[in-house]
Amino acid sequence: MANKLSLKIITPTRNMFEGEVDMVVMRTKSGDVGILHGHQPMVTILDYGVLTIKNDGEDRQAAVLGGFAEISSEGMSVLTDAAEWSNEIDVVRAEQAKERAEARLKTVQANIDVQRAELSLKRALVRLSLGGRK
């Protein structure tokens, strides 16, 4: 395969991934999008979701929690606040976070708490969806 997409995944604290891949599938605000080599330049906002890297018939998955992706002629960079490979996810912690968030949503208080609880529930669900099927 000559035509590969060069991909970088960067979080504030580390360079998570840098290399050539066949295809990237990610969850944007408007749905799942797959990116191949030679894509038109694009900037898109990412939702909380699973990012799949397809390379030589192998899949590698990561939980990506927000951020944005930039695709230019040189390649693609994913900039995110937090991201974890599927094997790095702490399932127990995510499970606890999920329960906590659900409990908080049941006892509705101020508006801002609901938003925060919903966000942390979303984060926990993304992590669990990956961590569970390792």
Binding site for other proteins (CB under 8 A): 8, 10-15, 28-30, 40-45, 67-68, 70, 72-73, 77, 79, 81-82
Nearer to other proteins, 68 or 85 (CB): 68
Name the minimum Å distance from CB 123 to other proteins. 13
Name the minimum Å distance from CB 58 to other proteins. 25
Nearer to other proteins, 40 or 107 (CB): 40
CA atoms within 13 A of residue 87's CA, in its CB half-sphere: 2
Residue with tokens 């006892």: 107
Name the minimum Å distance from CB 129 to other proteins. 23
SS3 category, 30: coil
Nearest to 60 by CA among 82, 87, 33: 87
CA atoms within 13 A of residue 100's CA, in its CB half-sphere: 13
